Amino acid sequence: MFSFIVGALLGAPWVLSFAPTSLWWLGFALVTALPFVAAKTRRPVLVGLAFGWFAYGVGVSWLHISLHTYGGLPWLFAWASVAAFAFYLALFPALAMWLYSRFSAKNISPNSGVFNALLWGAAWTFFEWARGTFMTGFAWLGLGDTLVDSPFANLLPWLGSHGSLFLLMVLAHLLVSIFLSRQLRTFGVFVATGVAVLVLIQLPIKTQSAGVLRVVGVQTNVDQSIKFDPDLIVSNMQKAFALGDVAQQKLDEQGGGLLVFPETVNPLVWTDTPLEWRSRFRDFATPQQTTVIMGSAIQEGSRYYNSIVMFDGGEGEEELEVPTKRHDKRHLVPFGEFIPLGFKWFVAMLNMPMGEFTSGSGPLNPFVVKGNAMASTVCYEDIFSGEFAGLVAKSTREPTLFVNLSNLAWFGQSWALDQHAQMGRTRSAEHRKPGLRATNTGLSGLVDDKGQWVERAQAGRAMVWSGEIEGRIGQTFFAKLGDRLWFSIWGVVLLLLCVREWRLKAYNRAH
């Protein structure tokens, strides 16, 4: 019980590391203290499990809003579902703690502090990656994403979120080891690692301007409880079109640019949408002047896609039937967009429209608007750092900026909005590409190539927002390597672990 309580106390404040509070240093302090505190207990793996259960349970507690308020689950069952999901997520830090407690050096040898620092950094970051990969993954609340709001943000274009986190975790672990054991060799490695960090955060990232793009976004602020209500769809669409008229006028006054609507601004499947409405979205665009992107479900045969559609104003009626200039969402949300194996009974209890989508495929084909190539993502596609880097690397044209359309109304005005935006901002910092975020209820706005807000619309309001964004050309070191960089780091640590185990066994046989 003591081990569980210790882990819970360490994990509960974890969420404060992330936006909107952005106490990034708190997360590093907690994850650095975790192995040292766990080593003082009888069950270190239970400490890791309790840490993860409370860290993720508190951190994603806003899932209760989508399950109960909008999904229709009974209050208690919704909270039980969140607790069960958080317990599953907690298995990954528990595995990291098991690996560390099993293979860390227990004796105080000249290299023990260095080896343990490398092992803990590799174990934690690997299982964070695994959490975001296994069974389609849930990469939410990855500690590396907090770095975008820290003095170490310039590590991100070099090492990405997991690589940067690994380096700083090693540094922090070495510092504690020096304090506890005062080993000279550990101090030397700490100094060398600290110098490497300082050098990386000072190195300039060379990119070139791809031109300035004027953007006007529409934030419809339609509550999820009425978004798919058949009696209110017409009035909701009239609201969206009225805001679109304001946005179009603003762009016309500025000489054109990009007009953006959020994910599924059209709540109907595109082929079921009245031709008048489809034409209306197209007519917001003007050839050679204004381009429109908007979110809608698209049907092709028996398949349904959650898509971003682009119009340049010159599309005929055939193109309005099934748009071809679009991005189909690839990484679907379990329970919301597809039914995981064995959970059909659970999804049947939820009031979730459009629950069976098909994943998009093929190379990313960026939308091109006034010389800027836009790499598009829908909803939480942009929280998967390595997957996103691979998508960008294999695109048909180098993107100059990122665009994300979302509908976060499922989570009310909770911290989920800021957390999602922070992860998207981290992708901009990793690739040194500015970002555009358009959502139904917030947070909408523009992000510069370092992941910082330059235009942020107020959440929870129906409004038209505007700004300018300057696309960038050039690949960062991380963009070129993607998650291959992380696997190289983890591979080296694994090799060191194997060598150490072999030497220990050889020593035991000899004695």
Q: Which residues are catalytically annotated?
A: 263, 329, 379
Distance CA 423, CA 18 (A): 10
Structure tokens given for 177: 């080891």
The region, left, alpha or beta by phi > 0 then psi within -120 to 50, assigned to residue 311 is beta
What is the length of the chain?
511
**Distance from C-alpha of 193 to C-alpha of 203, rounded to nearest angstrom:** 16
Query: Could you tell me if 295 and 309 are in contact, meaning their C-beta atoms sit under 8 angstroms apart?
Result: yes
How far is the C-alpha of 64 from the C-alpha of 22, rounded, in Å?
22
Q: 156 Cβ partners below 8 Å, 6+ apart? A: 144, 147, 148, 164, 426, 429, 430, 451, 478
Q: Give 210's contacts (C-beta < 8 A, 6+ positions apart).
A: 371, 372, 373, 400, 401, 470, 471, 472, 473
Q: Collapse the DSSP code of 310 into the 3-class scheme (helix H, G, I; strand E, B; otherwise coil) and give the result.
A: strand
What does the alpha-carbon distance between residue 445 and residue 333 come to, in Å, rounded to a whole number?
23
Return phi, psi of residue 474, to 5°: 135, 145
Peptide bond between residue 332 and the one before it cis (omega within 30 degrees of 0): no
Cα 202 versus chain centre, distance: 26
Helix (H, G, I), strand (E, B) or coil at 308: strand
Residue 282 — φ and ψ, nearest 5°?
-60, -40
Helices (H), 104-232: 112-131, 156-181, 184-202, 224-227
351-362 CB burial, b ≥16 within 10 A, e <16: ebeebebbebee
Residues facing 303 on adjacent strands: 300
First to last CA, the chain: 39
Per the structure block, which two tokens stand in for 370?
């006034």
**d(C-alpha 352, C-alpha 358), whole Å:** 16
Helix or strand run (H / E) with residue 212 = strand 208-219
